[in-house]
């Protein structure tokens, strides 16, 4: 039985797709067969971040409508053969998704995969709702600024009340905080909320801090998940996050901004 992870935030542009791609790749690299699904029907991006946009034939909506089988639509990643991508349809909208259809696909995938990562669209409407409805774990991606924190709080409320686990009175979704685009220098200047500030407002288990990094944009543009860029601090942050999620005890390295020897030598930011 697979573990279903939703990567969500409420607010747009905080790094949901980057995170989905990175942790899916990280889990697969650790030897777990992983599928990552783009729920952002109509505004698909995951295929670009994963560098598989030229190989999309069938998509999520085709599978829901029975126009293609799951195996036809799943794209095997070229960097890791344990990772599969189910792209969203670009020509449809969120109404093309149905709860039964999504549930059926997740059930079918669960038989074969260890982890299923659902990349949620922004907002709290149908797409985001379906992305989180079947989840076991939620990665709440938040930027250290007030509107993102508030939207995350709203999303946490929805996770706690509108998910399948909530409706069926099961053990609630496990919620994890991922603080992205974090800049310790700006926190020191008082321009950005600190980890403590965010945690005080959200009171959530911190899975990791992803520093603001040029490597994220470079990785997106080249279609290689940033976690594969082992020299970058953001890539290392995601490696740590995946390890922590799998139960390893890793210290947080990117909260106080002290540059390690590695970063000093290479001037990495």
Partner 1 sequence: MSVDSQKTPYNPLALEFKSSTFSVPVLILFSNDLAVIEQQLQAKISLAPEFFRNSPLVLDVQELNKKDLDLDIAALMEILREPGLLPVGIRGGNLKQNKKALALQIPVYSVTSSSATAEAQKRKTITPPVPEPITDPGTTILITHPVRSGQRLYASGDLVILAQVSAGAEILAEGNIHVYGTLRGRAMAGVQGNKAARIFCSDLQAELISIAGDYKISEDMQAISRNKPVQVYLQDHTIIIKDI
Q: Considering the complex, state which of residue 13 and residue 172 has its C-beta at the smaller distance from partner 1.
A: 172
Taking the complex as a whole, the smallest distance from the CB of residue 132 to partner 1 amounts, in Å, to 13
Closest by CA position to 46, among listed 58, 37, 59, 35: 37
154 part of the interface to partner 1, by CB under 8 A: yes
Q: Considering the complex, state which of residue 105 and residue 173 has its C-beta at the smaller distance from partner 1.
A: 173
Q: Considering the complex, state which of residue 25 and residue 204 has its C-beta at the smaller distance from partner 1.
A: 204
Taking the complex as a whole, the smallest distance from the CB of residue 153 to partner 1 amounts, in Å, to 4
160 part of the interface to partner 1, by CB under 8 A: yes
Q: Using CB under 8 A, which of the segments 33-41, 74-82, 90-98, 199-207 binds partner 1?
A: 199-207
> What span, in angstroms and rounded, lies between the C-alpha atoms of 37 and 131?
9
Between the alpha carbon of residue 231 and those of residues 37, 50, 82, 248, 258, the distances in Å are 27, 19, 23, 21, 16
48 part of the interface to partner 1, by CB under 8 A: no
Q: Considering the complex, state which of residue 11 and residue 44 has its C-beta at the smaller distance from partner 1.
A: 11
CB of 127 within 8 A of CB of 89?
Answer: no
- Is residue 85 within a helix (H) or strand (E), and if so which, with residue range? strand 83-86
Coil, strand, or helix at residue 8? strand
Q: Which of 53, 108, 137, 153 binds partner 1 (CB under 8 A)?
A: 153
- Is residue 106 within a helix (H) or strand (E), and if so which, with residue range? helix 99-112
3-state secondary structure string across 195-245: HHHHHHHHCCEEEEEEECCHHHHHHHHHCCCHHHCCCCHHHHHHHHHHHHH
Q: Which of 27, 73, 122, 156 binds partner 1 (CB under 8 A)?
A: 156
Q: Which of 157, 246, 260, 264 binds partner 1 (CB under 8 A)?
A: 157
Count of residues engaged in binding partner 1, rule: CB under 8 A: 13
Task: Provide the b/e sequence for 31-63 (b: ≥16 CB within 10 Å).
Answer: ebbbbbbbbbbbebbbbebbbbbeebebbbbbb
138 part of the interface to partner 1, by CB under 8 A: no
Q: Considering the complex, state which of residue 166 and residue 243 has its C-beta at the smaller distance from partner 1.
A: 166
139 burial via Cβ count (<10 Å: 0-12, 13-18, 19+): buried
Q: Hey, which residues between 162 and 181 contact partner 1 (CB under 8 A)?
A: 172
65 part of the interface to partner 1, by CB under 8 A: no
Q: Using CB under 8 A, which of the segments 63-71, 115-123, 154-162, 212-220 binds partner 1?
A: 154-162
Q: Which of 201, 218, 252, 269 binds partner 1 (CB under 8 A)?
A: 201
β-bridge mates for residue 83, sequence order = 34
> What span, in angstroms and rounded, lies between the C-alpha atoms of 128 and 43?
13
Taking the complex as a whole, the smallest distance from the CB of residue 159 to partner 1 amounts, in Å, to 8
Q: Note the residues at the interface with partner 1 (CB under 8 A).
A: 150, 153-154, 156-158, 160-161, 172, 200-203
Binding-site residue positions = 11-18
């Amino acid at each position: 039985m697979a573990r279903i992870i939703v990567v969500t935030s409420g607010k747009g542009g905080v790094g949901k797709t980057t995170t989905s791609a990175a942790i899916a790749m990280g889990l697969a690299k650790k030897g777990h067969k992983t599928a990552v699904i783009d729920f952002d029907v109509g505004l698909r991006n995951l295929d670009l971040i994963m560098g598989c946009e030229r190989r999309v034939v069938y998509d999520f909506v085709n599978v829901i409508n029975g126009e293609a089988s799951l195996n036809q639509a799943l794209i095997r990643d070229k960097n890791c053969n344990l990772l599969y991508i189910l792209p969203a349809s670009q020509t449809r909208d969120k109404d093309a998704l149905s709860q039964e259809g999504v549930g059926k696909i997740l059930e079918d995938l669960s038989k074969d995969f260890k982890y299923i990562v659902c990349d949620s669209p922004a907002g709290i409407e149908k797409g985001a709702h379906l992305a989180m409805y079947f989840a076991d774990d939620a990665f709440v991606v938040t930027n250290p600024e007030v509107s993102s924190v508030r939207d995350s709080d709203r999303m946490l409320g929805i996770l706690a009340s509108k998910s399948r686990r909530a409706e069926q009175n099961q053990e609630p979704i496990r919620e994890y905080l991922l603080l992205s685009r974090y800049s310790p220098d700006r926190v020191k200047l008082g321009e950005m909320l600190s980890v403590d500030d965010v945690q005080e407002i959200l009171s959530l288990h911190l899975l990791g801090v992803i520093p603001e990094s040029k490597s994220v944009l470079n990785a997106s543009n080249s279609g290689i998940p940033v976690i594969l860029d082992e020299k970058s601090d953001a890539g290392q942050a995601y490696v740590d996050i995946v390890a922590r999620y799998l139960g390893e005890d890793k210290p947080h390295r990117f909260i106080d901004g002290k540059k390690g020897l590695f970063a000093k030598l290479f001037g990495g930011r």
